[in-house]
Amino acid sequence: MAWKVTVDQDTCIGDAICASLCPDVFEMNDEGKAQPKVEVIEDENLYNCAKEAMEACPVSAISIEEA
């Protein structure tokens, strides 16, 4: 199974909790907002990590859907 991870740039406030919790999937861009390092996740451990980050995001800017 594979999942697509996206970060809504208009919603993101640059809290960086996602990059802290899941640095293999998320990074901060030059504008101080989160972005996915990878478009699609195929590893279940990375999915679980990304899901934890999604749930921790204070503004719900992260979405994960089946790819």
Pairing of strands 26-28, 34-36: antiparallel
- 50, 41 Cβ separation under 8 angstroms: yes
Question: What distance in Å separates the CA atoms of residue 7 and residue 1, rounded to the nearest whole number?
Answer: 20
Each residue's pLDDT tens digit, 51-62: 999 999 999 999
pTM of the model: 0.94
Each residue's pLDDT tens digit, 13-46: 999 999 999 999 999 999 999 999 998 999 999 9
Domains of the chain in sequence order: 3-66 (3.30.70.20)
CA dist 2 to 22, 28, 42, 50, Å?
Answer: 17, 23, 4, 12
